A = this chain, B = another copy of it.
Amino acid sequence: MAKRNLYLKVLPVEEALETYFAAIKERVRICTEIVPVIHALGRITVSAVYAKYNSPLYNSAAMDGVAVVAANTKEACDFKPLVLKKDDYYVVDTGDPIKEPFDAVIMAEDLIEAEDGEIKITEPASSWQHVRPVGEDIVAHELILTSNHKIRPIDIGVLLSAGITEIEVYKRLDVAIFATGTEIIEPTAQIEEGSIIESNSRMFEGLVTEQGAAAHRLGILKDDYALIRNAVKDAAEKYDFVLVNAGSSAGTEDFTVHVLRELGEVFVHGVAIKPGKPVILGMVGNTPVVGLPGYPVSAYVCYQNFVRPLIDFLQNAPSAQSETVQAFLSKRLVSSLKHKEYVRVKVGMVDNKIIATPLARGAGAAMSLVRADGFCVIEQNQEGLDAGDKVTVELCRSVQEIENTVVSIGSHDLILDIIADMLPNKFKNMYLSSSHVGSLAGLMALKRGEAHIAPIHLLDEATGTYNIPMLKKMFTDLCRPMALIKGVQRVQGIIVPKGNPKQIQKVEDIVKHRFVNRQFGAGTRVLFDYLLKQKGIAAKDIAGYDKEASTHMAVAALVQSGAADCGMGIESAARAMDLDFVAVGHEEYDFAIEKSNLELPHIQAFIEVLKSDEFQRKVRQMGGYEFPQCGEIVLL
């Protein structure tokens, strides 16, 4: 087998940073440059900046009117207006200079115009009235900006007024970005077997740009040692910072660490962070070179922990502080003592308590980053956190947004996406956040006060009716009255490949084929188990009964890919993926809620969306839905 890398030593995050920063501080010079003030927006000043000119530059009129010599106007009064001849005054607009011996301005509206350019005034002017003295706003040699100040639009205006046209600022870092990997293709390229679409480098481009540095994406390098070595060597000479994406791990074709050892020095390879362990912190010449892991979440977490502070340091920029909140964790999180772990969470406010619900923890789950409202960190010395523990969450959204968000935990349906999209469009600053854990787990979350609504579709075997019996059963011991917001009727059935090659026509046919199941507690799984029981089929006879997917769409994707021959799900999922569908029956997909929460403004908005023609039209387009009572309230 080909050579694999070994992590000689996996360092704790803080130690890794300390080690690397020590090397950086020793070897990398923080650079400055002089730029025109008009291009200095957002840049950081190196030294204190003092005014060169006064502003105003001279004594000037503060009003439109006439300039006069105050001492010559003393006799003016109401009953005996004073006449000023042509030479006794001159007309000024605001900003015009007041030249000696003139020393006061009389406003236009206080003048009486006479003949031959003479004017009359009825009140004496006091010395300096309506005159802006030289330097009133800015005095030459006065401090305008301190050092380490981030230049704002108003600062640019004042600098220019004060005669400053160039300014020394910290250099904008030029960051080179490489993607590596023979299997990696550009997003616009033709996809072939084994292709992986390159996207991390574009995420890095965005992150680097947001930090005010200049991103230079230098394309994709094949897994070829010499090629990577030469490219990294050139980039280290030309740019201030080099990012190499992937190839940082211990795979057979992970060359980055070897390249860096040959060209320069590796200070850290492997950090006790999850996700993100294989990060490489090195230097070529005096240029920092960081190797980032390939999984998108690992790449992101490593960027935030290692690249961001370094770029801030080298640009002398203040580190951006994310807003944090204290939240209650909705479920237990086990973590190893081997690493510090970054867990993506959804955050919602229910009954005045902020609740954090962990999202998918896989390093490959990039969508979990998109969906995340924040991060919760499990320190390396913690084995995990219990449900109900108070945790600090670094937020990606504002607290105000979170307060106006309907928190939905329960069964998945495509209509949730439509509501999530429509809600903030129809109602300013109102949002839907949904976690997909299945109907039963949704009701449990509702009971624990972690969600406003639980979308459910739970069949009561005894009565053959949906949702209400289960809701009554689960909430008997509570004094809080419950309600159901009626949602949609939808068609459940068997999702099969286009053309139904295995000719699956009914539940009994599944026994002969590879099935993909839903997770325990999902309404679809309850229905499937109910059907199996009805037909007298044992779970162990179903190939793939233990293979679980957590949404209808995930089931459809597995069927489409050929990984399974069939799965249970809703018609809209089959249609979205252009698959065939064998209907098994209708079911009711509704939203369980505590009655007292019905009055919340964002819940009212949610109900308005359900009732709207626009919503029903959009849902109807997906196929497989009916709306007999959509948006109606059933009190229990």
Contact = CB atoms under 8 A, between A and B. Distances in A.
Contacts of A97: 193-194
A157 B296 contact: yes
A1 B199 contact: no
Interface residues of A, number: 114
A203 B492 CA distance: 60
Contact of A137 (B41, B153, B365): B365
Interface in A43-72: 48, 53-59, 62, 64
A127 B544 CA distance: 9
A57 B562 contact: no
A138 interface: yes
Interface stretch (A465-473, A546-554, A600-608): A546-554
B146 A421 contact: yes
A190 to B, nearest CB: 12
A319 B3 CA distance: 55
Nearest to A164: B187
B156 A202 contact: yes
B420 A146 contact: yes
Contacts of A197: 53, 55, 57, 160-161, 163
A205 interface: yes
Nearest to A193: B97
Interface stretch (A88-96, A283-291, A453-461): A88-96
User: How many copies of this chain does the complex contain?
Assistant: 2
Interface in A532-559: 547, 549, 551, 553-554, 556-558
B424 A146 contact: yes
A135 interface: yes
Contacts of A54: 557, 560-561
Contacts of A142: 367, 417, 553
Nearest to A145: B370
A227 interface: no
Interface in A186-228: 187-188, 191, 193-200, 202-207, 209-210
Q: Which of A37, A54, A400 has its CB near the most chain B CB atoms (within 10 A)?
A: A54
Contacts of A138: 366-367
A325 interface: no
Interface string A510-552: 0000000000000000000000000000000000000101010
A357 interface: no
A364 B294 CA distance: 55
Given A4-B64, A135-B553, A153-B210, A199 B127 contact: no
A328 to B, nearest CB: 24
A32 interface: no
Given A91-B1, A195-B57, A202-B38, A136 B547 contact: no
Contact of A161 (B55, B127, B296, B400): B296
B203 A556 contact: no
A56 B567 CA distance: 20
Interface in A366-423: 366-367, 369-370, 398, 400, 417-418, 420-421
A620 interface: no
Nearest to A400: B321
B58 A561 contact: yes
A188 B160 CA distance: 9
Nearest to A153: B206
A202 B251 contact: no
- Residue among A55, A57, A140, A157 with the highest chain B CB neighbour number at 10 A: A157
A39 to B, nearest CB: 10
A76 interface: no
Contacts of A152: 206
Contacts of A424: 146, 148
A127 B296 contact: no
Contact of A547 (B108, B127, B207, B417): B127
A158 to B, nearest CB: 5
Contacts of A94: 249, 251, 294-295
A462 to B, nearest CB: 35
Contacts of A369: 154, 158
A321 B207 CA distance: 23
Interface centre among A97, A137, A200 (most CB of B within 10 A): A137
A334 interface: no
A370 B96 CA distance: 24
12 contacts: A57-B196, A133-B561, A134-B558, A134-B563, A137-B296, A141-B576, A143-B420, A156-B199, A156-B202, A157-B296, A165-B187, A321-B398
Given A48-B421, A136-B362, A161-B366, 13 more contacts: A4-B64, A38-B187, A38-B205, A57-B195, A57-B196, A93-B251, A133-B549, A137-B296, A144-B370, A146-B421, A157-B199, A157-B202, A157-B203
Interface of A: 1, 4, 37-38, 41, 48, 53-59, 62, 64, 91, 93-97, 100, 108, 113, 127-128, 132-148, 152-161, 163, 165, 183, 187-188, 191, 193-200, 202-207, 209-210, 249-253, 294-296, 300, 321, 362, 364-367, 369-370, 398, 400, 417-418, 420-421, 424-425, 547, 549, 551, 553-554, 556-558, 560-563, 576-577
